[in-house]
C-alpha cells in the first residue's frame, strides 16, 4: 500500500516562476491525507534556504526536514570525507560550499554551473581529474526547462570530464540509489510503499525504479512527447501532479 | 611487408612550436626510402594551408595530397550532402567553412573550438540536436598537449551533447575507419601494409588497429606513462618518430 509521495520540484510543482495549475491545492490535499511527503530535488541553482523561501512565495509550505537536495547531500559527503573540492557550481550556491577548504583540490564537483561552464574552468576540472582528483556530480541531469526552452544541466559536463579523463563520476543526487534511500530512511517505510513523481525520465523515473520505488511521470516541465516510451520498466504516467495526487489518494481508499 | 607510414602531426613531429628531436631527419630518411608517406591529423585549429605553411617553417616539406585533415574531410562531407551546419569550431578554421550555408542549421559540427566552448553556444548546439539536427564530430580526441599541459579537445564536448540530446555523433577524422580508409585509398595499398604512428592511444592506435592497419605508439606529445597498457590489441611502441622510422626501414631491408 502507498504510504508516501516523493515529489520532484521544478517541472512538477512549478516551471520557472509559474506554479503548475492546481499544484498548490494538490499538495494541500496530499498533506491532509495519511501520506508522508518528501521533496527530492537535484536543483543546484539555489541554496536550501532560497528554495524553501521561493516555494513559500509560490504557495508551498515545506518543512526543512521534508526537503532533500543534491547540493546539501554533496556538501555533507565532502565534509564527512574531509575532501577539498574544486567547485564548478552555480554562483547562487557557492556560499553553501564556502566553509570547505578549496585550496589544492583533490576533488572536482560539478553542478549546474551555467555560465561558469567555460573552456578554462572545464579544462581545469579535467586536468585535476587527470591528476587523480575524484569527480563528483550533483545529480546527473541531462537538461531542465527554463523560459520555455530546454537548457543543459550538469550531466553532459560530467560526461565530458568522465570521457576526457577516463574516469567515472560519483553521482550524489538523483538518479543515485543512495540519495533515494537517504530520503526513504527518513520515512521509516519500505521502498515499495513510496511513489516518486517527477518529470525527468532518467533522474526521477528510472532512478526511482532502480531504487525499488514506484514511479510516476508527469507530462509537465521538461516532459517531451514520447518520453514515456523511452522507459522500459513499469511506471505510471499522469497529466500533472494533480492527477498523481488523486491517484495516490484513491489508492489509499482502496486499501 | 610494410609499404607506407601514416603519421600523426602534433605530438609526433612537433609539440607546440618545437620540433621533436630528430623528427625532420627521420622524415627525410623515410622519404628517401620506398615507403609512401601520409600525414593524418584531426588538428582543427589550423586550415590546411596554415598547417602546410607551419610545417614548412618547422622544416617539414609536405605535398598537399599527402595531408589528410579531419576538418577538410568534414567540409567535404557537409558539402556533398548539402547540409547546413552550426559550427562550434576554432576561429582559425571558420574561413574554411564560410562557403557553406549556415542559416537554419540542420547539423551541429563540433571541433576543437577552445574558447567558443561556452554555455550559451553548447546550449544552442544541444537544442538543435534535440530538435533533430545531426551531430558531427571533427575527430573525437579526448585531449591534446599545449604549453606542457593536457587540454580538452573536441571529444568531451561531443560526448556532452550526445548525452544531453540522447544522440550519437557521426565522427569524421580519427578514429573513424572511413577516414583511415580514405587515406589508405590514396596509396593503392592494403591496410596491413601500413603502419600508423601516433601519440593518441584512442584516435591513432585503436583507430588504426580497428581499421586493419598496424599501429605504433610514440612516447612523445600527449603520451602519458602507462598509456601502452591501456590498449588491448597488439601494437608497437617507440620512444619517438625517430625509432619508428628506423623500425620501418629495417623492416624494408628484412624483406
- The per-residue pLDDT for range B140-165, each reduced to its tens digit, is 999 998 888 999 999 999 999 999 99
pLDDT band at residue B229 under the 50/70/90 scheme: very high
Condensed to tens digits (0 to 9), the pLDDT of residues A53-96 reads 999 999 999 999 999 999 999 999 999 999 999 999 999 999 99
Cα B159 to Cα A156, A168, B228: the distances in Å are 7, 14, 24
Condensed to tens digits (0 to 9), the pLDDT of residues B109-140 reads 999 999 999 999 999 999 999 999 999 999 99
- The pTM of the full predicted model, rounded to 2 decimals, is 0.91
Q: Do B160 and A164 touch (CB under 8 A)?
A: no
Q: What is the pLDDT of residue B148?
A: 87
Q: Are B182 and B213 in contact (CB under 8 A)?
A: no
Query: CA A196, A199, A204, A208 torsion: positive or negative?
Result: positive
Mutation site, A88, A119, A162, interface B, largest B CB count within 10 A: A119
Does B122 reach chain A within 8 Å, measured CB to CB? yes
Q: What is the pLDDT of residue B8?
A: 98
Q: Minimal CA–CA distance to B216: which of B230, B192, B200?
A: B200
Q: Minimal CA–CA distance to A109: which of A73, A150, A145?
A: A73
Does B233 reach chain A within 8 Å, measured CB to CB? no
Share of chain A above pLDDT 90, in %: 94
Q: What is the pLDDT of residue B16?
A: 85
**Residue A125, pLDDT above cutoff 80:** yes
**Residue B234, pLDDT above cutoff 80:** yes
**Residue A253, pLDDT above cutoff 90:** no
The burial class, CB within 10 Å (0-12 / 13-18 / 19+), for B251 is middle
ipTM confidence: 0.90
Run of H or E residues at A77: helix A70-80
The mean pLDDT value for A144-151 works out to 90
Q: What is the pLDDT of residue A94?
A: 96
Mutation site, B141, B152, B165, B202, interface A, largest A CB count within 10 A: B152
**Residue B255, pLDDT above cutoff 80:** no
Cα A27 to Cα A20, A32, A42, A88, B200: the distances in Å are 11, 9, 20, 34, 55
Separation in Å, CA of B175 to nearest CA in chain A:
15
Q: Are A31 and A248 in contact (CB under 8 A)?
A: no
The mean pLDDT value for A127-154 works out to 95
Counted across chains A and B, CB pairs separated by less than 8 A come out at 87
- Cell numbers representing residue A173 in the block: 543526487
pLDDT band at residue B243 under the 50/70/90 scheme: very high
**Residue A252, pLDDT above cutoff 90:** no
Does B25 reach chain A within 8 Å, measured CB to CB? no
* Distinct helix (H) and strand (E) counts, chain B: 8, 14
Query: Which chain B residues contact residue A149 at CB under 8 A?
Result: 127
Q: Who among A117, A149, A164 is closest to B142 (CB)?
A: A164
**Residue A222, pLDDT above cutoff 90:** yes
HEC string of A174-234? CCCHHHHHHHHHCCCCCHHHEEEEECCHHHHHHHHHHCCCEEEEECCCCCCCCHHHHCCCC
Give pairs for B84-89: CB < 8 Å, separation 24+: B85/B109, B85/B136, B86/B124, B86/B125, B86/B128, B86/B133, B87/B111, B88/B113, B88/B116, B88/B117, B88/B121, B88/B122, B88/B125, B88/B157, B89/B44, B89/B113, B89/B116, B89/B138
Cα A184 to Cα A22, A32, A65, A88, A94: the distances in Å are 26, 20, 12, 29, 28
The mean pLDDT value for B161-181 works out to 96
Q: What is the pLDDT of residue A232?
A: 84
**Residue A255, pLDDT above cutoff 80:** no
Mean pLDDT of the residues in chain B: 96
Give CA B245 to chain center in angstroms: 20
The mean pLDDT value for B95-105 works out to 96
The mean pLDDT value for A140-151 works out to 92
pLDDT band at residue B210 under the 50/70/90 scheme: very high
Q: Do B164 and A151 touch (CB under 8 A)?
A: no
Separation in Å, CA of B189 to nearest CA in chain A:
34
Share of chain A above pLDDT 70, in %: 100
Condensed to tens digits (0 to 9), the pLDDT of residues B27-51 reads 999 999 999 999 999 999 999 999 9
Does A149 reach chain B within 8 Å, measured CB to CB? yes
Q: Tally Cβ neighbours within 10 Å of residue A170.
A: 15
Alpha-carbon gap, residue B94 to B180, rounded angstroms: 24
Q: Which residue of A has its CA nearest to B142?
A: A164
The mean pLDDT value for A4-23 works out to 96
Amino acid at each position: 500500500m502507498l504510504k508516501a509521495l516523493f515529489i520532484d520540484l521544478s517541472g512538477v510543482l512549478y516551471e520557472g516562476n509559474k506554479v503548475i495549475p492546481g499544484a498548490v491545492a494538490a499538495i494541500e490535499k496530499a498533506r491532509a491525507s495519511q501520506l508522508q511527503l518528501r521533496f527530492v530535488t537535484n536543483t543546484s541553482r539555489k541554496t536550501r534556504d532560497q528554495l524553501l523561501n521561493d516555494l513559500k512565495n509560490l504557495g508551498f509550505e515545506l518543512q526543512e526536514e521534508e526537503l532533500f537536495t543534491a547540493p546539501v547531500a554533496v556538501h555533507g559527503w565532502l565534509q564527512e570525507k574531509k575532501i577539498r573540492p574544486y567547485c564548478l557550481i552555480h554562483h547562487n550556491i557557492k556560499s553553501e560550499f564556502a566553509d570547505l577548504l578549496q585550496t589544492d583540490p583533490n576533488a572536482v564537483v560539478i553542478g549546474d554551473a551555467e555560465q561558469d561552464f567555460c573552456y578554462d574552468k572545464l579544462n581545469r576540472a579535467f586536468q585535476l581529474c587527470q591528476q587523480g582528483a575524484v569527480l563528483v556530480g550533483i545529480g546527473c541531469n541531462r537538461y531542465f526547462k527554463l523560459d520555455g526552452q530546454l537548457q543543459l544541466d550538469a550531466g553532459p559536463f560530467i560526461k565530458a570530464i568522465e570521457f576526457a579523463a577516463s574516469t567515472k563520476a560519483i553521482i550524489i543526487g538523483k538518479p543515485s540509489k543512495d540519495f533515494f534511500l537517504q530520503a526513504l530512511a527518513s520515512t521509516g517505510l519500505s521502498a515499495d510503499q513510496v511513489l516518486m513523481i517527477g518529470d525527468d525520465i532518467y533522474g526521477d523515473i528510472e532512478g526511482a525504479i532502480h531504487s525499488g520505488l514506484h514511479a510516476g511521470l508527469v507530462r509537465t516541465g521538461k516532459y517531451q512527447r514520447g518520453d514515456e516510451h523511452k522507459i522500459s520498466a513499469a511506471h505510471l504516467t499522469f497529466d500533472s501532479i494533480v492527477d498523481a495526487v488523486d491517484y495516490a489518494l484513491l489508492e489509499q481508499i482502496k486499501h
